[in-house]
């Protein structure tokens, strides 16, 4: 049996594999490359895994993060976490099985707080942050933690806007693209790439689209929420720059939180960043907790490292 097939079996029974590390999700995001996985065993049983996505640049094969995937990194069964000797041994097993790569770059899931075996192998690390709301099942407590300004924006937006789910994906992409255009940035993915992901997410019952619409049927704001067994992720969001004053973005963020709590019964909501000052302030105003995660990398090829510095 291939490592991918064994990993698929493993994911069916492992209790909390993050959404981004599930085989079906990686299949949907693997355009421009492919993914594989290395496994660690204990007494003949798979107890840890590390999926990775790789691309080819000329003669160089390198591991990086695919579109729409926030985190990968090693996954260990819950009963083995926090036991450092066992963690070290399993992480060493995973590292030893990685194929020859010109470079390795991954964001590790926030649940993994031990990267020492990578450090011992001369990998490097930067600490990044996401923002999470916990205790979502007690939604009244979460709502009480909203800042005064957030509560005001929601109160003012509600009479003017309604939240719907039935608009086409192309409309979500259009409004999301307007947010990039406002910042002078290209959209990092195409509608076709988003549609490929959406088809997989809908087939798995793991996502929902959100649109804030006014009486003239104008879409003010959009959001795309995805989830796994424990956590909802604020994957995509965007506003029409001409309609930003309506407060639709704040309303829609709160409606996705409500949906995660009341419809999905989840206990954690992850805003998926950001490190940008303005976005960070907004996350904190929602009561979200700053949560660190690791970006871990190593250039195995000095030539590839030089090419990376020179790439446009």
Cα 233–Cα 189–Cα 175 angle in degrees, nearest 5: 70
Does position 69 have pLDDT exceeding 80, yes or no? yes
Q: What is the pLDDT of residues 208-246, one digit of tens each?
A: 999 999 999 999 999 999 999 999 999 999 999 999 999
What percentage of the chain carries pLDDT values higher than 90?
A: 92
Token look-up 């076709």 returns 192
Query: What pLDDT is attached to residue 247?
Result: 95
User: What residue spans of 23-145 are helical by DSSP H?
Assistant: 23-29, 84-97, 116-120, 139-144
pLDDT band at 198 (very low <50, low <70, confident <90, very high): very high
28 and 235 Cβ atoms separated by less than 8 Å:
no
What ranges make up the beta strands (E) of the chain? 34-42, 45-57, 60-64, 75-76, 103-107, 124-134, 162-164, 207-213, 219-227, 231-239, 268-270, 289-299
Averaged pLDDT of the chain: 96
Query: What pLDDT is attached to residue 305?
Result: 87
Hey, how many other C-beta atoms are within 10 angstroms of the C-beta on 202? 13
Query: What pLDDT is attached to residue 306?
Result: 87
Does position 311 have pLDDT exceeding 80, yes or no? no
Pairing of the two strands 103-107 and 60-64: parallel
Q: What is the pLDDT of residues 125-143, one digit of tens each?
A: 999 999 999 999 999 999 9
For the chain, which residues make up each domain, given as ranges? Answer: 3-128+293-310, 136-266
Q: What is the mean pLDDT of residues 145-167?
A: 97
Residue 79 to residue 108: CA distance in whole angstroms:
19
109 and 75 Cβ atoms separated by less than 8 Å:
yes
Query: What pLDDT is attached to residue 312?
Result: 58
- CATH topology for 3-128+293-310? Aminopeptidase (3.40.630)
Beta bridge partners of 63: 54, 104
Query: What pLDDT is attached to residue 273?
Result: 80
DSSP string of 252-297, one letter each residue: HHHHHHHIIIIIT--SEEE-----SHHHHHHHHHTTPEEEEEEEEE
Q: What is the pLDDT of residues 79-88, one digit of tens each?
A: 999 999 999 9
What percentage of the chain carries pLDDT values higher than 70?
A: 100
Does position 102 have pLDDT exceeding 90, yes or no? yes
Q: Which two structure tokens, joined as six digits, stand for 24?
A: 């079906």
Residue 110 to residue 252: CA distance in whole angstroms:
25
Query: What pLDDT is attached to residue 71?
Result: 95
Residue 74 buriedness (CB in 10 A; 0-12 / 13-18 / 19+): buried
CATH number for the domain formed by residue range(s) 136-266: 3.40.630.30
Q: What is the mean pLDDT of residues 17-42?
A: 97
Q: What is the mean pLDDT of residues 55-77?
A: 96
Q: What is the mean pLDDT of residues 14-42?
A: 97
Residue 140 to residue 74: CA distance in whole angstroms:
35
Asked, colleague to colleague, whether 3-128+293-310 and 136-266 share their fold, the answer is yes
Please state, in angstroms and as integers, the Cα–Cα distance from residue 280 to each residue in 69, 131, 228, 275, following that order.
Answer: 20, 8, 24, 6
- Which distant-in-sequence residues (6+ apart) come within 8 Å of 276 by Cβ? none
């Amino acid at each position: 049996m291939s490592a991918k097939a064994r990993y698929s079996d493993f994911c069916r029974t492992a209790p909390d594999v993050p959404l981004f590390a599930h085989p079906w999700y990686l299949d949907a995001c693997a355009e421009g490359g492919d993914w594989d996985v290395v496994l660690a065993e204990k007494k003949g049983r798979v107890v840890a895994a590390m999926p990775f996505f790789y691309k080819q640049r000329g003669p160089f094969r390198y591991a990086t993060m695919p579109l729409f995937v926030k985190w990968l990194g090693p996954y260990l069964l819950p009963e083995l976490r926090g036991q450092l000797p066992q963690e070290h041994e399993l992480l060493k097993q995973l590292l030893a099985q990685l194929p020859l790569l010109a470079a390795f770059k991954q964001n590790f899931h926030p649940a993994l707080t031990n990267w020492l075996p990578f450090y011992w192998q001369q990998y490097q690390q930067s600490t990044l942050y996401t923002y999470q709301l916990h205790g979502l099942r007690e939604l009244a407590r979460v709502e009480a933690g909203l800042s005064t300004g957030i509560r005001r924006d929601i109160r003012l937006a509600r009479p003017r806007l309604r939240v719907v789910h039935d608009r086409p994906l192309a409309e979500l992409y259009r409004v999301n693209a307007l947010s990039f255009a406002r910042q002078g940035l290209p959209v990092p993915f195409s509608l076709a790439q988003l549609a490929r992901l959406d088809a997989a997410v809908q087939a798995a019952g793991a996502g929902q689209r959100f649109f804030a619409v006014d009486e003239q049927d104008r879409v003010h704001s959009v959001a795309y929420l995805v989830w796994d067994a424990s956590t909802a992720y604020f994957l995509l969001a965007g506003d029409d720059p001409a309609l930003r004053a309506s407060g639709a973005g704040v309303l829609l963020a709160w409606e996705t939180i409500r949906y995660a709590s009341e419809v999905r019964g989840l206990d954690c909501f992850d805003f998926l960043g950001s490190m940008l000052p303005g976005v960070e302030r907004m996350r904190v105003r929602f009561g979200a907790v700053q949560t660190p995660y690791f970006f871990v990398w190593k250039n195995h090829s000095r030539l590839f490292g030089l090419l990376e510095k020179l790439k446009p």
